[in-house]
Amino acid sequence: MAKVLILGGGFGGVVAAKRLAEQLSDEHQITLVSRSRYFVFYPALVRLAFGKCQREDISFDLRHAMLDRRVNFIEAEVARIDTYERKVSIAHGEVEGKLPYDYLVFALGRRLATERISGFYEHAHHLLNVDKAIKFGKAIANFHEGRAVIGQCVGARLPIPVYETAFALAKRLEENDERDRVRITIVSPDAIGSEFGDSDVGLTLQKALQQHQIEFVSGFPIEKVTEHAAFTSSGQSINFDLLMLMPPFQGASAALYQGITNEAYINVDWSMRVIGVQGCTP
């Protein structure tokens, strides 16, 4: 009998659990560990911020879903993995101590490295979890004039919610007859649409932004945020009355100090196997 341990209850962990439960015979034990018992459908967070859906519409209870698939679910915080001993240390939660495994699926997602941007925590909104999206939604509801700056920091790797937010805000203001009272600016370290690696996407975006009078400022790598302005390292600045930023991302810290990560993420081969250890797949 093999013990398969899956860390993380997001898309990666849940799909891995489902597939393994379908393909492995009953003698093998599959366990999923995640800090929250709720799966969140991240692509709907912009809709949540704009009041188009509710918290309960975009999440489901993992424990029930996993039970149906004969996967044990443990709600707990993973502290670190030990790939030599093949054990995972749990910081706190429904179990304590170390969980042994024969095979490990590492799907803890990314960590928000907000500490890399001075003042981010105090002065910027983001919408990368349910609570933050709802908080940003309240700020939008109270925002009727001034300048909204929406953007991504270096290393954010998530452009879609930036454009989606800018378009949703423009639409909301148009519907409320407030569009001419608000200037909307997208800031990015990169050129328009370059994140998508397709020049046609860039052109289409450019047209749509112009249509909705949304400015795009490229080559703007934000390094510091104060109450009403964002700054780059070269001293450029932009003022705002409302700021929503995608922070830099980094790999989850539980895999650090095992010699399996580069600066930010786990090193994997073409089949997503972790390079240098047996039985570990992110």
Name the site residues for ligand FAD (rule: CB under 6 A): 8-13, 34-36, 42-43, 45-46, 77-78, 107-110, 127-128, 158, 160-161, 252, 254
User: What does each C-alpha distance from 248 to 19, 124, 257, 264 come to in angstroms?
Assistant: 31, 13, 21, 11
Which residue number places its CB atom closest to ligand FAD? Answer: 10
For residue 241, the minimal CB distance to ligand FAD (Å) is 22
CA distance 21 to 261: 28
Q: In this complex, which beta carbon is closest to ligand FAD, that of residue 43 or of residue 276?
A: 43
For residue 40, the minimal CB distance to ligand FAD (Å) is 7
CA distance 279 to 268: 12
Q: How many CB atoms lie within 10 A of CB 279?
A: 16
Q: In this complex, which beta carbon is closest to ligand FAD, that of residue 92 or of residue 171?
A: 92
Q: How does DSSP assign 7-27, residue by residue?
A: E--SHHHHHHHHHHHHHS-TT
Q: In this complex, which beta carbon is closest to ligand FAD, that of residue 160 or of residue 264?
A: 160
For residue 93, the minimal CB distance to ligand FAD (Å) is 8
Q: In this complex, which beta carbon is closest to ligand FAD, that of residue 144 or of residue 157?
A: 157
Q: In this complex, which beta carbon is closest to ligand FAD, that of residue 35 or of residue 98?
A: 35
For residue 182, the minimal CB distance to ligand FAD (Å) is 22
Two tokens, residue 199: 């020049």
The gap from C-alpha 253 to its chain's centroid, in whole angstroms, comes to 15
Two tokens, residue 87: 């054990």
